[in-house]
Structure 1
Amino acid sequence: MTNYHVPAGGLPPQSALTTDRARFTEAYAVIPARTQSDITASYLPGWQWTRLWVLARPLTGFAETFSQYIVEVSPGGGSENPEADAGAEAVLFVVGGAPTLTIEGTTHGLTAGSYAYLPPGARWTLHNIGPDIASFHWIRKTYQHAAGLDVPEAFVTRERDVTPIDMPGTGGTWSTTRFVDIADLRHDMHVNIVNFEPGGSIPFPETHVMEHGLYVLEGKAVYLLNTDWVEVEAGDFMWLRAFCPQACYAGGPGRFRYLLYKDANRPAPLSGALR
């Protein structure tokens, strides 16, 4: 059975300890699940009966290439004009409820596990016409056009319809659910799901050029972020700057899975180079 963490809002009780796993460093940040409370919720114009938690946004010393929200739409809520930036592409990943997404006049009924890619300039709307709260991740990035490549088309799929790809030599203990073919260079970001069975690990410190956003959908693990091993669990969000070393050990008892953002397939900008 596939599980997805859904923020519940509310507030910790007055008896709760203030000490937490929240961290903000030059190389990484950890935003624990309980941070997604009522007092940290945000609101956007053009959205009715909707609140959201901003996990990442372009900011000096923080995320540079993307923003990520967890959006909660109450029954009857939604938006006719959700995206104000014509240059922004997006991925929506539903974790709860059944929102209705319309793209260029075509309507899609979404459920938990639904995934939608929205290219820049796409005309889309989203409404919750069901009786339950609808919750989804909304990941946004300014699309980087590349000579000779068309802008990708919009598409909608579901996690259960995508076969995970085992990482080499892991026997299925570590796999990635890829919603976009890595050979499709039209896409300048990948939003995947990384899966670990109990005992699975990233057995070396990965260090590479992509900026990362990781939201834990299910389970718990210990994660290496730069030089620190940090315990993380369902609902936690991690940001990793480019070249931040990372590794993972998923000790169980259940699966450990996270939604992963990374920028991809474009040359590094040289705006600071000598001319």
Structure 2
Amino acid sequence: MFFIAKYGEEGPGRFFNPNCSCAILLDHLKVRASSDIQASLKKRRDDTKLSINQLQRQTVAFNHQLMQLEDELSRKKAATARQTPTDEEQKEKEQPPPSAKDTKGKKGGTPPPPEDEFDPNDPVKVLEKKIEEIRKTLTTNETRIGRRKDLIAQILTQEKKLERIDKVDFTTEDGSTDLKLRESPTSVALNFLQPKKTYKVTAFPPPPEPQIFDGSESPPQAKPPTPETGKKGGKKDKEEVEPPAENDEFAPFSLCFQLLDPDADPEEEAEKAAAAEKAAKGKKK
């Protein structure tokens, strides 16, 4: 007898009993969905803010450590530059280069190691490696903080949408068909909803209020006379003007949404979104 209603972030959905009037079911669904989504978004927002604070504290600590290592590296490089060559190095410099006879028949020796090769016994190289790792960590933290801030912006957008809910209704699971239970408030919802089936919840904002013009304001241009009326529009003391039929602010919107995963790879996330959009278009066709 129960059916599944999906709203909020993608999940298994909630069970509802359709054996009641459409008006009762939709009123209950509106309160339940709004409450559940608000609680979920609030928890997600609080957890995200806590994560941002932790990452920011880590960033401060890493920046402090980076400054210390850079100072130490500068001192070691300066000390190395001031060092004089040893006696053995001086003798090697003073020795003449080997003649062609000495080198004839001999294969080339072991090539010197590359200058950028890491030497664990070289304190300068060790410091440079530590500094490079910390800089990579700082870059990663900045990216993670930025994505979490984007997530909070998404959450705030969804919370603002919840404030505009006037009515709710159902669509099929693929979102292609509006079931329009709201147009039959006294009918039994079981006539529209099949048990064990899954439906998505759609929200409808309140309709726009008509604009009232009095003598102090200029109303829109009156329509020219038509053959049917034969009358010419003119100014009135009060006139109601309907707003445009299509307006995003008053358009219905789905209560099913997917929030940003702050730890996901942006490229992989974009590929998944493109694949999902392509699949949705294929279903509609």
Same fold (TM over 0.5): no
Question: RCO (CA 8 Å, sep 6+): is it higher in 1 or 2?
Answer: 2
Structure 2 length-normalised TM:
0.26
Structure 1 length-normalised TM:
0.27
- Bigger fraction of residues in strand: 1
Q: Determine which structure has more spread, i.e. the larger CA radius of gyration.
A: 2
